[in-house]
């Protein structure tokens, strides 16, 4: 067990320990990771870091102490509202990440449902099986049940099955744009119509692709409507710390109607310090995250995000072509936006053995269980490393096939 050192050490000594420790991790700058770090280039990273550092010590809980931070958050939320075609009645909150945005959506939906129908006994949320677990996490904390409904063959929400799963206690539906598991868009137009008909809150989880899909659409890729342009969409979450390329700690939760915000808020006054009211789950919050998001969004602008979107889509197409050219491997369709999954179609080639071969060659590998596949979220940083990745993949495939290797299913790729 390590105890706090009795006397402090010098920064230079500490810094070398940290640099040394880091060298054991996977190199995201070298494109070794298919998830966790969203990296474009050093220039954008510098903007993000310097902006973060300017607000390194500021605390976004202190709204009266740091009016400039309130303004930065309002600007970021406004930019997001316009990006997702929100009506003038809409409102939003800057949050620390997708999990917090999803939590706040679930809390607001729950509190509204309880206010509207005090007789609810055990309220539930109906979601496709591919929905992100942050919804279950929120439901767990908020005392709600989640009903997961099987998806169609193309990994999309099955609208008929979801409609059947809805009962008198259903307070919310969730759809992904796109989902993390297979990277496809749920049929949000039809789910929005269903939600309107049944008068149920529909939340759109655009955490992953929210800051990519609108720009891919402008670049001519076929992106279905998923935002507030569909009247049945009550709320939407989108992470700026993913394809928005800001420092981690940045997401937004947007509500179609600012009136709904009271259901999201927590207010308390029964202590000796007066009113404590927040719209977020967190109390103290890093000011740097909002400054980074604001700076990166202003630095890139629509043009910058469009350039990045094109680069990501080009990189994905090149990687897909390279994988499909390898014997025994195929990219799973549909493959929309930034996510690519590939599997083996050869009975003598085990995809888990291929995955282990890639790990052995220094690549962090994301795994899908249903279906068994390798799971890759494309980033701009992957463009220059494609050749090296495909070279190693060819070798991993050869080894697995020639030596008849059988790998283990790995359920713990996080
Ligand atoms: C990442 C992600 C989340 C959760 O976001 P965190 O920032 O990890 O908390 C939710 N939904 C989807 C689709 C995601 O990709």
- Ligand 1 atom nearest to 241, measured from its CA: 7
The pLDDT mean for the chain works out to: 97
Q: Give the model confidence (pLDDT) of 204-225 as tens digits.
A: 999 999 999 999 999 999 999 9
Q: Is the CB of 99 under 6 A from ligand 1?
A: yes
Q: Is the CB of 237 under 6 A from ligand 1?
A: no
Q: Dihedral through CA 145, CA 149, CA 154, CA 160, nearest 10?
A: -120
Q: Give the pLDDT of residue 1.
A: 84
- In this prediction, what percent of the chain has a pLDDT beyond 90? 97
pLDDT at 150 over 80: yes
- Ligand 1 atom nearest to 102, measured from its CA: 10
Q: Give the pLDDT of residue 411.
A: 81
Q: Give the pLDDT of residue 413.
A: 67
Q: Give the model confidence (pLDDT) of 38-95 as tens digits.
A: 999 999 999 999 999 999 999 999 999 999 999 999 999 999 999 999 999 999 999 9
- Give the 3-state secondary structure percentages of the chain, helix then strand then coil, rounded to 5: 40, 15, 45
SS (H, E, C) 96-120: CCHHHHHHHHHHHHHHHHHHHCCCC
Q: Is the CB of 210 under 6 A from ligand 1?
A: no
Q: Is the CB of 248 under 6 A from ligand 1?
A: no
Element (H, E) at 402: helix 386-402
Q: Give me ligand 1 centre to Cα 239, in Å.
A: 7
Q: Give the model confidence (pLDDT) of 374-413 as tens digits.
A: 999 999 999 999 999 999 999 999 999 999 999 988 887 6
- Ligand 1 atom nearest to 239, measured from its CA: 7
Q: Is the CB of 134 under 6 A from ligand 1?
A: yes
Q: Is the CB of 208 under 6 A from ligand 1?
A: yes
- Ligand 1 atom nearest to 251, measured from its CA: 7
Q: Give me ligand 1 centre to Cα 34, in Å.
A: 15
Q: Give the pLDDT of residue 410.
A: 82
Q: Give me ligand 1 centre to Cα 99, in Å.
A: 6
Q: Give me ligand 1 centre to Cα 42, in Å.
A: 24
Beta bridge partners of 235: 203, 255
- Please, where are the H alpha helices in 283-334? 287-324
Mutate to test the pocket of ligand 1, among 132, 178, 282, 414 (most ligand atoms within 8 A of CB): 132
Q: Give me ligand 1 centre to Cα 9, in Å.
A: 38
Q: Give me ligand 1 centre to Cα 208, in Å.
A: 6
Confidence of residue 275 (pLDDT cuts 50, 70, 90): very high
Q: Is the CB of 86 under 6 A from ligand 1?
A: no
pLDDT at 369 over 80: yes
- Please, where are the H alpha helices in 90-206? 98-116, 134-142, 159-165, 188-198
Q: Give me ligand 1 centre to Cα 117, in Å.
A: 30
Q: Give the pLDDT of residue 279.
A: 97
Q: Give the pLDDT of residue 312.
A: 98
Backbone angles phi, psi at 128, to 5 degrees: -70, 155
pTM to 2 decimals?
Answer: 0.97
Q: Give the model confidence (pLDDT) of 329-359 as tens digits.
A: 999 999 999 999 999 999 999 999 999 999 9
Q: Is the CB of 97 under 6 A from ligand 1?
A: yes
Mutate to test the pocket of ligand 1, among 99, 185, 237 (most ligand atoms within 8 A of CB): 99
Q: Is the CB of 98 under 6 A from ligand 1?
A: yes
- Ligand 1 atom nearest to 98, measured from its CA: 5
Mutate to test the pocket of ligand 1, among 185, 239, 336 (most ligand atoms within 8 A of CB): 239
Residue whose CA is closest, atom 15 of ligand 1?
A: 208
pLDDT at 165 over 90: yes
CA distances for 127 relative to 149, 168, 186, 199, 285, angstroms: 6, 16, 11, 16, 30
Q: How is residue 414 written in tokens?
A: 């996080």
Q: Is 409 exposed, middle or buried (0-12, 13-18, 19+ CB in 10 A)?
A: exposed
Q: Is the CB of 244 under 6 A from ligand 1?
A: no
Residue whose CA is closest, atom 3 of ligand 1?
A: 98
Residue carrying the six token digits 């997961």: 148
Q: Is the CB of 106 under 6 A from ligand 1?
A: no
205, 132 contact by CB (below 8 A): yes
Q: Is the CB of 92 under 6 A from ligand 1?
A: no
């Amino acid at each position: 067990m390590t105890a706090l050192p009795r006397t402090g050490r010098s920064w230079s000594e500490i810094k070398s320990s940290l640099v040394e420790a880091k060298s054991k991790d996977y190199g995201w700058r070298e494109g070794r990771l298919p998830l966790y770090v969203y990296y474009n280039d050093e220039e954008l990273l510098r903007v993000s870091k310097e902006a973060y550092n300017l607000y390194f010590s500021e605390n976004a809980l202190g709204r009266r102490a740091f009016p400039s931070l309130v303004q930065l958050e309002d600007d970021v939320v406004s930019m997001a509202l316009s990006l997702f075609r929100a009506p003038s009645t809409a409102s939003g909150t800057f949050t620390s990440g997708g999990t917090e945005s999803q939590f706040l959506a679930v809390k607001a939906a729950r509190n509204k449902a309880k206010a509207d129908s005090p007789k609810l006994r055990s309220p539930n949320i109906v979601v496709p099986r591919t929905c992100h677990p942050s919804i279950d996490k929120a439901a767990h904390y908020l005392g709600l049940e989640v009903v997961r409904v099987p998806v169609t063959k193309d990994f999309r929400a099955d609208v008929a099955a979801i409609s059947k799963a809805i009962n008198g206690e259903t307070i919310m539906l969730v759809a992904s744009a796109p989902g993390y598991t297979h990277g496809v868009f749920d049929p949000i137009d039809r789910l929005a119509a269903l939600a309107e008909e049944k008068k149920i809150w529909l939340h759109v989880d655009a955490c992953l692709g929210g800051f990519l899909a609108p720009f891919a659409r402008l670049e001519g890729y076929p992106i279905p409507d998923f935002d507030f342009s569909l009247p049945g969409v009550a709320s939407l979450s989108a992470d700026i710390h993913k394809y928005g390329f800001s420092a981690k700690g940045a997401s937004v939760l947007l509500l179609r109607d600012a009136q709904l915000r009271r259901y999201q808020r927590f207010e308390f006054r029964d202590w000796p310090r007066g009113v404590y009211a927040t719209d977020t789950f967190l109390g103290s919050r890093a000011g740097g995250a909002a400054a980074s998001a604001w700076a990166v969004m202003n630095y890139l602008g629509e043009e910058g995000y469009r350039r990045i979107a094109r680069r990501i889509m080009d990189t994905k197409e090149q990687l897909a072509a390279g994988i499909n050219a390898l014997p025994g491997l195929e990219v799973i369709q549909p493959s929309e936006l930034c996510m690519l999954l590939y599997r083996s179609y050869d009975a003598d080639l085990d995809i888990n053995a291929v995955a282990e071969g890639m790990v052995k060659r220094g690549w962090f590998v994301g795994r899908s269980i249903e279906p068994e596949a390798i799971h890759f979220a494309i980033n701009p940083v992957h463009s220059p490393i494609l050749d090296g990745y495909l070279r190693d993949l060819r070798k991993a495939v050869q080894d697995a096939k020639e030596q008849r290797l059988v790998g283990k299913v790995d359920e713990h790729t996080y």
